[in-house]
Structure 1
Amino acid sequence: MASPVMIAAIFALFLASSTLASTDAPFIVAHKKATLNRLKSGAERVSVSIDIYNRGSSTAFDVSLSDDSWPQDTFDVVSGNTSQSWERLDAGGILSHSFELEAKVEGLFYGAPAVVKFRIPTKAAFQEAYSTPILPLDVLADRPPEKKFEWAKRLLARYGSLVSVVSIVVLFVYLVMSPSKSSSAKGSKKRR
């Protein structure tokens, strides 16, 4: 469940984006996600994806992404790179980048936001934007194995009676509203 601080931060971000989007400049918003994937060999991989949005009204040029928050003594890069660059990001556009890491050390990991640098034609200096931070990752932690269909059982236990009632009502409405084949056949015989 989202904390009140997180909700307030997201609300402030939307207010700022709507205010800044009215100016004639790019407004960069970056969203970073990380998910843990346990392999059968006991190793654990971290899949990281970063989406960069231009919510402004002009193009950002020489866009570069750098995510150096993954220490080399804790993670190995398995696929992709932790940095990427693009020539431009048009207004209303999106860029996506992903990479995968393999964890070497057990423990709780707090990742820092990724840094996005870009150039505005009216300014000589590069501008910086930061991605959203990720939630702490409990890397290589002992977790009980997930039981398949547990979530389905919980949903069925919680909402099963509601689904049954709605299904019966929908079936009843369908039967009342659809003409039966026997009455349409009788009607066609009487007309002859």
Structure 2
Amino acid sequence: MANSVSFLALTIVVLLVVPSVIEGSDAPFIVAQKKATLNRFKSGAEKLSVSIHIYNHGSASAYDVSLTDDGWSPEIFSIISGNTSASWERLDVGAVLSHSFELESYVKTVFYSTPAVITFRVPTKTALQEAYSTSLLPLEILSDKPKASALHLAKRLLGDYGSLVSSISIVVLFVFMVATPSKPSSSKGSKKKH
């Protein structure tokens, strides 16, 4: 969740700042997000699914795009499927490239992953350009995870979504009050008969 929030914050900053910086220039702007999910699938082993999404938020295509994510220590991880590197011919403006692979670990440890490196070519420059993916939170491999109690889950949901629920409730209450006609009081509405 924290990784998603950090990527969302990064994306917002990129979308607000980058257009003013690259306005008038014809260049790609690469943003890459790295995600990982741990799943214990048999006793004594844990599977790690890694996915990397590469976005081009610039104003020109990137060519000869190459992804390398070789920060996975062979003493801790073995590759189950896929590769830790990939390459593509081009990444057009507004397009997304995705790559995923799976690793397996039998070692109980806390692992700190390095960002993936993306290299690409821009027609107007001779040197290859580099971009880096977001980093991951520390991965607790084969850790003894305590069972979450109902109270802990309720606190977490309240912390994550409490302000959203409050905001929506206020808007719904306001709309209800505006949309509901006021009822006339009995003293104003009654006419005296003479």
TM-score, length-scaled by structure 1: 0.70
Give the % identical residues. 58
Distance change >3 Å, CA 20–CA 49, structure 1 → 2 = farther
Moved more, 84-93 or 35-44: 35-44
The corresponding residue for 1:19 is 20
For residues 97-154 of structure 1, the C-alpha deviation after alignment (integer angstroms, 9 at most, x for no partner) is: 0000001311111101000000000111100000000000000111245789x959x9
Q: Is the 8 A contact 2:113 2:138 kept in 1?
A: yes
Q: In 2 relative to 1, CA 41–146 (structure 1 residues): closer, same or farther, beyond 3 Å?
A: farther
Question: Can you list the C-alpha shifts for 1:14-67, whole angstroms capped at 9, x where unaligned?
Answer: 444333453210000000011101113341011100000000011100000000
Q: Does the alignment pair 1:91 with 2:93?
A: yes
Secondary structure at the aligned position of 1:17 is classed as helix
Unaligned stretches of 5+ residues in structure 2: 170-194
**Equivalent position to 2:102, from 90, 100, 103:** 100
Aligned residues of 1:20 and 1:56 also touching (Cα < 8 A):
no
The 5 Å alignment of 1:73-88 reads 73-88=75-90
SS across alignment from 2:71: coil
Q: Which amino acid aligns with 1:91?
A: V
Aligned to 1:121: 123
Q: Residue 19 of structure 1: SS of its match in structure 2?
A: helix
State whether residues 21 and 55 of structure 1, in contact with CA within 8 Å, keep that contact through their aligned partners in structure 2.
no
SS in 2 for 1:102: strand
- State the aligned residue count: 161
Give a deviation string over 1:138-188, Cα, whole Å, max 9, x none: 00111245789x959x97xxx9xx9xxx9xxxxxxxxxxxxxxxxxxxxxx
How large is the RMSD of aligned CA atoms in angstroms?
3.4
Runs of 4+ residues over 4 Å off in structure 1:
145-148
